Amino acid sequence: MKSLFVIIVICTAGILGFYLGKNAAKPDSKSIDTQVFTTAKAIKTVDQWGRMDVFTPDETTTFGTSLMFTAVIDVLPGQEVHPPHRHLEEELMYIARGSGVWSINGKEQVANAQDLLYAQPWDTHGLLNTGSDTLTFFVAKWRTKGTAELPEPN
């Protein structure tokens, strides 16, 4: 009986290992390599709301993502990059300095330095600088490879 159990465990582990290996994310020819993204090489944008340094534009792909966007954004007092919005990708926003107001699915919440927002696909989110100084935040937005695209909810 003990040997039958061992055989079942080994076979199950082998099948699971084969399945996971076959379906695991794999790098493709478009994926970026491990590297340092310097501020000097960032794509810089200046607008009425402030400044954005884009390190990886929307079309960037990585080992596990079909889309990766990263940037550091300075938002002037009383401004926002854009009104609250929603999209298919997951997103993280980390406030490095300053203060403001998060908008999350129609509700407002105080935003302070060292706060981190995570937004699921299609959740409405935004950030308004309500402070008297520049608000600086880092944003990472991504779409994971191999996940079904969630349809936009009504």
Say how far apart CA 101 and CA 48 lie, in whole Å: 19
What pLDDT does 56 receive? 96
Report, at the CATH architecture level, how domain 39-144 is classified: Sandwich (2.60)
For the chain, which residues make up each domain, given as ranges?
A: 39-144
Task: Report the sign of the C-alpha dihedral through residues 13, 17, 18, 20, in that order.
Answer: positive
Residues 6+ away with beta carbon under 8 Å from 149: 88
Direct distance between the N- and C-terminal alpha carbons of the chain, in angstroms, rounded to an integer: 55
Instruction: With a cut of 80, say whether residue 9 has pLDDT above it.
Output: no
* pLDDT tens digits, 14-28: 333 433 344 445 556
* pLDDT tens digits, 67-125: 999 999 999 999 999 999 999 999 999 999 999 999 999 999 999 999 999 999 999 99
